[in-house]
Amino acid sequence: MKAILVDDEERSAQNLRLLLSQFCPQLEVLAVCTDARDSIETINALKPDVIFLDVEMPHVNGFSVLSAVRGSFRQVIFTTAHAQYAVQALREQALDYLMKPVDPDELVNAVKRLDAKLPESRLLQSLERIEKLEQQLRRSAASHLAVQTVEGYAMVHHDEIIRMEAESNYTHIHCQKKKYTVAKSLGSFEEQLNAAGFLRVHSSYIVNMKHVRHYQRGDGGYLVMSDGASVEVSRSRKKELLRVLLGEE
């Protein structure tokens, strides 16, 4: 069977390729695509049996890739650190959905389904499975953030995060005991964290409101956080901050 791997993170793609060579020798990897836009042309040209497809990628996400290559593959297995996409993956008729870091046993089981030549995913037929998964994902997304590290992914509880700071295309995540730096924009975290008590107070900062210790008034003002750091508040975001912090309209 022929496979194509699509993941904008080179390290993750090569790790998956290594796992496949070790545990699933029956699969031949035709190509590894780290640019989702290029992957569309590659998939349509090579027509693999299976695509191992990341979800959150720059320019084009995994679901958009899937829409652009219909008819050029037999099965898709999503591989991602973002659990909130699992239900949509199921509804897109994925054979399976593997969370990063990919567990070898789960990978082998997914490939066995390919070996069995199952018709397009029957996972969708179980509404109970989808409902259960949705409940699990809501609980997980409500309390943790998946942060990529050299070893894989750290599941960081929201309460541990004090603030997030943008630097070019990177984000520094300042936690109570550790600092993480990830190659993702600050905006990519904003929607996920808004519902968890975080607030973007500046183009360069998202703060955990639980860790705010003091607000100093000014043009925009600034916040003093639980780790002693001062975080600038932009004028355009001051009103929203005061509404959340003080209940002002």
pLDDT of residue 161: 95
* Tokens describing residue 41: 């042309």
Angle, CA 52 vertex, CA 49 and CA 54 arms, to 5°: 150
pLDDT of residue 249: 46
Q: In whole angstroms, what is the distance from residue 47 CA to residue 69 CA?
A: 9
Token match 């953030």: residue?
145
Q: Give SS3 for 203.
A: coil
**Whether the domain at 2-139 and the domain at 144-246 fall into the same CATH topology:** no
Q: In whole angstroms, what is the distance from residue 180 CA to residue 222 CA?
A: 23
Going by CATH, does the domain composed of 144-246 fall within 2.40.50.1020? yes
pLDDT of residue 142: 58
Q: In whole angstroms, what is the distance from residue 130 CA to residue 88 CA?
A: 10
Q: Are 156 and 147 in contact (CB under 8 A)?
A: yes
Which regions in the chain score pLDDT beneath 50?
118-128, 130, 249
CATH topology of domain 2-139: Rossmann fold (3.40.50)
Sorted by where each begins, the domain ranges of the chain are 2-139, 144-246
Q: In whole angstroms, what is the distance from residue 53 CA to residue 36 CA?
A: 9
pLDDT of residue 125: 44
Closest among 141, 14, 132 to 82, alpha carbons compared: 141
